[in-house]
Structure 1
Amino acid sequence: MSERTIDAVVFDIGGVLLDWSPTYLYAELIPDEEQRTHFLTNVATPAWNHQQDEGRPWEEAVAELTSLHPEHAEWIEAYDTGWLKMVKGVFEDTAAVLTELQALGVPTYALTNFSGEKWEVAKEAFPILTRFDGEVVSGVEQTVKPDEKIYRILIERFALDPARTFYTDDMAYNVDGARAVGLDAEVFTGAADLRTQLRERGLPLQ
């Protein structure tokens, strides 16, 4: 086995542990694919959702967008009230890695771009999210990945040695941001590759 080079593991959430996509909700609400794509590309855009990840209250966000697009009021409101339907579930293979790390006594943390309001909803629906040793949520901190500040919050709050802390994220630019502050980070491409990456760093995973 390789010499152990990491003391803690940090997980991104969406796309790594939770299977989240607005399409899961809007495929029900807007069956026409062209109409649905237009709504999610031009009305309830990723950039608009990102504002909530930065800490904007959902009530305010929905009210403003509805004032701009009153013809889509019902669909806009559903982004908030039906948010949980955007989560298909937990990626069980990633959850198994997390569970195994915790059984080995390896400290685990969550670092996520996530609305603070929806994070609480998600934790209630998916108890595995409550099992981390600590969490840094962008909507709570009001700073988002890949801004250096959010990685610094993680490192300082939990007294982590960046060089001995492994981070996995499905977005390459977030991995680049993590590496810029000294974290040992890799792009998440699946639980099998994650297991390999952790074994290469000396963790005795199955």
Structure 2
Amino acid sequence: MKDIIFDLGGVLIDWNPRYLYKKIFASAEEMEWFLTSVCSPGWNAKQDAGRPFAEGIAQAKAQYPKYAPQIDAYFLHWEEMLGGPIKGTVQLLRELKYKKYRLFALSNWSAETFPIAQKKFDFLGLFDGIVLSGEEKMNKPEPEIYKRLLFRYQLQADNCIFTDDNQDNVSAAQTLGIDAILFTNPEQLHVELIKRGIL
């Protein structure tokens, strides 16, 4: 029986900083500049890889003091970036659990903010194991984080199916011998699992 590994953000949970920042910025152009230049994906990835938010925020405020309140909001109002569950994928997760598949999560996520998601989304309790980049101090697609998941839960790469919405993360899994699916939507994932005899 295959072991099934899920990414979280963009696959099971709709996370987007724009849900928060559209309430903060009057102009969409200024919001986009802020999210690409100040609190950018690269800046956020360092928190995902274990940098404390206090350190990341201090660094951003030192560089962009004019935006200090907006930078502070990234952590203080982080929960408002959660759009909700991606319902079709959550339903697949519940079906797989019902069918007794072992389920794992491998996610680039700050260890500081993940407890907020755990309180909000009960389905995170369905996993047999979760490996978070923020706890491991490294992000996908670094090969070592996949190896840690496999070692920690005694998984065989060729017995795993992994889904992620990022092509680099999918390619890294495939390089290690894991059958990986690039996630686009729940219906597509359902079809891919049927092709593999899972559902």
TM-based fold match above 0.5: yes
Which one of the candidate residues 146, 152, 158 is aligned to 2:147?
152
Which one of the candidate residues 60, 66, 70 is aligned to 1:71?
66
Which one of the candidate residues 31, 50, 62 is aligned to 2:45?
50
Distance 1:175 1:52 in 2: 21
Which one of the candidate residues 15, 18, 25 is aligned to 2:13?
18
Q: Deviations over 1:30-51 (max 9, x none)?
A: 1211111111111111110000
Cα RMSD of the aligned pairs, angstroms, is 0.9
Distance 1:153 1:56 in 2: 19
TM-score norm. by structure 2 comes to: 0.97
Partner of residue 172, structure 2: 177
Question: After the TM superposition, which residues 1-206 of structure 1 pair with which residues of structure 2 at under 5 Å, given as runs?
Answer: 7-203=2-198, 205=199
Q: Deviations over 1:124-178 (max 9, x none)?
A: 1112112211000000001110000000001111111111100000001100000
Distance 2:83 2:23 in 1: 13
**Partner AA of 1:58 in structure 2:** F
Q: Deviations over 1:40-90 (max 9, x none)?
A: 111111110000011001111111211221110110000001111111000
Q: Secondary structure at the match of 1:89?
A: strand
State the 4+ residue runs in structure 1 displaced beyond 2 angstroms: none
Q: Deviations over 1:99-119 (max 9, x none)?
A: 000000000000000001111
Partner of residue 3, structure 1: none
Q: Secondary structure at the match of 1:167?
A: strand
Q: Secondary structure at the match of 1:37?
A: helix
Percent identical across equivalent pairs?
39
Distance 1:14 1:39 in 2: 21
Distance 1:121 1:11 in 2: 19
Distance 1:172 1:67 in 2: 34
Distance 1:133 1:111 in 2: 12
**Partner AA of 1:43 in structure 2:** V
